Chain A
Amino acid sequence: DIQMTQSPSSLSASVGDRVTITCRASQSIGTYLNWSQQKAGKAPKVLIYGASTLQSGVPSRFSGSGSGTDFTLTISSLQPEDFATYYCQQSYSTPRTFGQGTKVEIK
């Protein structure tokens, strides 16, 4: 299985801050990397697929980059509704695997 490791596991930030979350794969996965947001008690919602393609309807303050083994999710200006847990997930091979999550909390 491909292991996905996110850092940090949690972070505290203020509204308006620029936030960066990283994800590392245990082997090269090209750009087969997705990012999702999960709010408490809700299902995850995809933000970015293919490492950098913004899902329809997702605000442009979210962006993704990377290829191979190292990937980044950036929120350019954190908004109150962005406080949530973020997961990376590889779709290069099965079993599909997720990172352990990064919880973004209010500072």
Chain B
Amino acid sequence: QVQLQESGPGLVKPSETLSLTCTVSGGSVSSGSYYWSWIRQPPGKGLEWIGYIYYRGSTNYNPSVKSRVTISVDMSKNQFSLKLSSVTAADTAVYYCARDNIVLGNYYFDYWGQGTLVTVSS
């Protein structure tokens, strides 16, 4: 059974960098069959895809955050990470990591972490 677990600070000051890590168990981030995504959800609001990484290191980011975001992968630790710079209160959200599966050309998020709330406040 694949499991994903987010970790990182729950409180970040404005203008600083938000850093989160997703640890994958029961599966491998080095598998060429999946992308690994970050998705966020502001309190009481909908879902926003942030971006994904492929095991070879190629990335794809949402233009809404592209200038501030970096997603990286550490195959030795079976983890992938998110860094979001110059945060503001608008970045306060529950952050999820998810596996992006590909079946017959269809991409869908089949496994999710439990989510971690990150609050941006001084």
Question: Which residues of A are in contact with B by a Cβ distance under 8 Å?
Answer: 1, 31-32, 34, 36, 42-46, 49-50, 53, 55, 87, 89, 91, 94-101
* Cα-based distance from A44 to B61 in the complex (angstroms): 21
Using a CB–CB distance below 8 Å, which chain B residues touch chain A? 37, 46-49, 60-64, 96, 98, 103-104, 106-110, 112-115
Cβ-defined contact, A50 with B104, below 8 A: yes
Q: Write out the residue numbers on chain A whose beta carbons fall within 8 Å of the beta carbon of B103.
A: 49-50, 53
Main secondary structure of the interface of B (DSSP, over half): strand
Q: Cα distance A42–B106 when bound, in Å?
A: 24
Within the complex, the shortest CB–CB distance from B46 to chain A, in Å, comes to 5
Complex contact B104–A96 (CB within 8 A)? no
Is the pair B46, A95 in contact by a Cβ cutoff of 8 Å? no
Known: A87-B46, A87-B47, A95-B64. A43 touches B113 (CB 8 A): yes
Q: Are A46 and B64 in contact (CB under 8 A)?
A: no
A100, B103: Cα distance in complex, Å? 25
CA of A18 to CA of B112, assembled, Å? 28
Asked whether A36 lies within 8 Å of B106 as measured between CB atoms, the reply is no
Known contacts A31-B106, A43-B112, A45-B112; 18 further A-B pairs (Cβ under 8 A): A32-B107, A42-B114, A43-B114, A44-B47, A46-B109, A49-B106, A50-B103, A50-B104, A55-B108, A55-B110, A87-B46, A87-B47, A94-B60, A95-B62, A95-B64, A98-B47, A98-B48, A99-B46
- Chain B residues, Cβ within 8 Å of A55: 108, 110
- Cβ of B115: which chain A residues have Cβ within 8 Å of it? 43
Residues of B within 8 A of A31 (CB): 106
Q: Which residues of A contact B48 (CB under 8 A)?
A: 98
A–B complex contacts, Cβ < 8 Å, 11 sampled: A32-B106, A32-B107, A34-B106, A46-B108, A50-B103, A50-B104, A89-B108, A94-B49, A95-B62, A96-B37, A101-B46
